[in-house]
Structure 1
């Protein structure tokens, strides 16, 4: 395929529940692995840094669990602020996000 040839592949507007669950399972496993690595390294690391890292990973795990609940109740992929669909590209990168990019920017 040449670089000049337009792509005919279209992206779905939303992830299926199965795709969302797969991405969330992967994210949860990755965060649990991170948390385990932090705990294992704790004796050799500065305590305050380790506490901050653990808190961050736990916060993301809570966000992942909340995303699982949104899949179950059918609200996954819908922005909690503006109620518009969250683009699939964003959900592929950050599968647990409850906000579209504009609403996330406004919240920060």
Structure 2
């Protein structure tokens, strides 16, 4: 169980690092699937997510 939690944490850290590198790009905060703006609260809570709520489902 702790191995799974560690794996999830490492995966999230990797995604956050990737988001940190993308934050200055013009398309940061734009959904990769539908090309609409991702709501700011989603970006704040999940900066690693490249998709809006609708496209992430």
Q: Does the pair score TM above 0.5? A: yes
Structure 1 stretches lacking a partner, 5+ long:
1-48
- The alpha-carbon deviation at position 93 of structure 1 amounts to 2.0
Count of residue correspondences? 57
- Using the size of structure 2 for normalisation, the TM-score is 0.83
Identify the structure with the greater helix proportion. 1
Alpha-carbon displacement from aligned partner over 1:36-62 (angstroms, at most 9, x marks no partner) = xxxxxxxxxxxxx12111110011011
Structure 2 stretches lacking a partner, 5+ long:
none
Q: Secondary structure at the residue paired with 2:27?
A: coil
Structure 1 residue ranges (4+ consecutive) displaced by more than 4 angstroms after TM superposition: none
- Using the size of structure 1 for normalisation, the TM-score is 0.48
